[in-house]
Every structure is written in C-alpha cells, then in structure tokens.
Amino acid sequence: MTTVVAKKTFNHGVHPPTHKEGTAKNEIRQFPFAKVLIIALSQHLGAPAKAIVREGQEVQRGEKIAEAGGFVSVTMHAPV
C-alpha cells in the first residue's frame, strides 16, 4: 500500500524523469533550415506589424521584415 502525503512546499524544484535512455547514445545532428517559414505579423495584443518584404522574397537572418504597425506593435526581423 502506498501512502500519499500532500505537501505545501517542496525542496529544490520539480525533477520529472527525463526518459532519455532511447536517444542518449545518438549523435547530435543539425537539421537543415526549412525552405519556407511562415511568420505571423500579429503578435497576441496590439496592432499587427506591417510587412516591408513581399511574400516569397528570400531574406537573410536578422534582416528587417516588418515595421511596427501602430500602438503596442513591434518591428520584426527574420529569425533564420
């Protein structure tokens, strides 16, 4: 029989099992970048950003792709 004890606090955080046994010996690999990346210009709250590149245009990582579109909006850069 198992006894369950409810605690209001715990020591040193939560440490769930990692279950890494199946991949622990595998080599780390770099996946290729996706050929197409879809980036939403609307971010949770506020005005959506205004695209300054056209759909399908090839861009470089860090390149500005959209400008702030109004109140509570952000300028966006290509992540990859």
Ordered by start, the domain boundaries in the chain are 31-80
Q: Residue 80 has what pLDDT?
A: 84
Q: Return the residue matching tokens 């300028």.
A: 75
Q: Which residues contact 40 (CB under 8 A, 6 or more apart)?
A: none
Q: Residue 15 has what pLDDT?
A: 81
pTM for this predicted structure? 0.59
pLDDT digits (tens, 9 = 90+) for 21-52: 999 999 999 988 888 888 999 888 889 999 99
pLDDT at 63 over 90: yes
CB atoms < 10 A from the CB of 76, how many? 20
Q: Residue 9 has what pLDDT?
A: 67
As a whole number of Å, the CA-based R_g of the chain is 22
